[in-house]
Amino acid sequence: MKVTVVGAGAVGASCAEYIAIKNFASEVVLLDIKEGYAEGKAMDLMQTASLNGFDTKITGVTNDYSKTADSNICVITSGIPRKPGMTREELIGINAGIVKTVSSSLIEHSPNTIIIVVSNPMDTMTYLVHKTTSLPKNRIIGMGGALDSARFKYRLAEALEAPISDVDGMVIGGHSDKGMVPLTSHATRNSIKVSEFLSEERLEQVAADTKVGGATLTGLLGTSAWYAPGAAVSGLVQAIACDQKKMFPCSTYLEGEYGLNDICIGVPVILGKNGIEQIIDIPLSDAEKAHMQASAEGVTKTNGLLEL
Ligand SMILES: NC(=O)c1ccc[n+]([C@@H]2O[C@H](COP(=O)([O-])OP(=O)(O)OC[C@H]3O[C@@H](n4cnc5c(N)ncnc54)[C@H](O)[C@@H]3O)[C@@H](O)[C@H]2O)c1
Ligand SMILES: O=C(O)C[C@H](O)C(=O)O
């Protein structure tokens, strides 16, 4: 199993590290445009192998796509992150060009690959890969909902004063400060609805904190987060590589599901060896449907800025 990660920055390196530590891939190729950077990150990570007990071989390359040939899975993290006070949507001007060039170079060398898009604004970058490559929709996956759901569970556990392993919940919709739809009514603690334990006001606070999860970290760190994003990507990669048939909310191209068309946005999917093997169309409450509709309108507006 060969995995390529483009962008050896904060998220790309974290992603490569988690993939290696989980020890399911034979090879991870890290590629970056900055001379020597991916080689350095790969060497540093390989020097953790005996300490962390993994056998995955990590190699670094400077913009040499021939070294990525025949990758089963390619992850795109190349692009600029936001600074405090910015939205993800403001990154489109620079990142769209990067994602378009990178995805086409990857496919040239790995025509059968599955692509996971991480660069922001992620739903629009996923849509861009759909519109500018000939990959089938099951092989183009946007990572956002897995991360947002992990943050939702963190906030729920904090409110419940419970261990995170007791908590389950999911965030669908666009990966943006306003567009996320935390499915509060479906969230549970050991199969009991969280509304049995928390007031409506507290649950609204949990949802609000979840939606600005990325912005909160960007304010604290001066750039956007990388540990949870890297871990979330490694979860998707592992589900595909190990044909786990696990459910994650991912950005995928919709053709009528959730009443939406011609858009990539976060919905629950089953991930296995073929990438997205099924889109799960769960019933939403009227309020959740309205939030999803508003979220889709936001993503469509950002998609309109693409030069296709
Ligand atoms: N979808 C999500 O949930 C999520 C989570 C975190 C970050 N992100 C996004 O991921 C992206 C990367 O974030 P980061 O913190 O790792 O940034 P970073 O600046 O640390 O790393 C980005 C790397 O991309 C490289 N790069 C730029 N152009 C390139 C090209 N054409 N080819 C190859 N490499 C190129 C840069 O040299 C840099 O090393 C940002 O757009 C950020 O917003 C998304
Ligand atoms: O917040 C960001 O800009 C990065 C990423 O999308 C995140 O949610 O951490």
pLDDT tens per residue across span 224-274: 999 999 999 999 999 999 999 999 999 999 999 999 999 999 999 999 999
Name residues contacting ligand 1 (CB within 6 A).
6-12, 31-34, 37, 77-82, 91, 95, 98, 101-102, 118-120, 122, 143-144, 147, 175, 223-226, 229
pLDDT tens per residue across span 19-32: 999 999 999 999 99
Q: ipTM score here?
A: 0.99
Task: Name the β-bridge partners of 3.
Answer: 28, 73
Tell me the percentage of the chain whose pLDDT exceeds 70. Answer: 100
- For atom 12 of ligand 1, which residue has the closest CA? 77
The answer, yes or no, to whether any atom of ligand 2 lies below 6 A from the CB of 218, is yes
Number of Cβ within a 10 Å radius of residue 83: 12
pTM above 0.95, yes or no: yes
- For atom 6 of ligand 2, which residue has the closest CA? 214
Q: What is the set of domains in the chain, with CATH numbers?
A: 2-142 (3.40.50.720), 145-304 (3.90.110.10)
- pLDDT at position 308: 87
- pLDDT at position 177: 97
Q: State the closest ligand 1 atom to the C-alpha of 34, by its place in the atom list counted from 1.
A: 37
Q: How far is the CA of 32 from the centre of ligand 1 (A)?
A: 10
Residue 294, judged by CB atoms within 10 A of its CB (0-12, 13-18, 19+), counts as: middle
The answer, yes or no, to whether any atom of ligand 2 lies below 6 A from the CB of 229, is yes
Q: pLDDT averaged over consecutive 10-residue blocks of the chain (308 residues)?
A: 98 98 98 98 98 98 98 98 98 98 98 98 98 98 98 98 98 98 97 98 98 98 98 98 98 98 98 98 93 98 96
> Ligand 2 pocket test: which of 180, 217, 221 has the largest number of ligand atoms within 8 Å of its C-beta?
217
- DSSP, collapsed to helix, strand or coil, labels residue 258 as helix
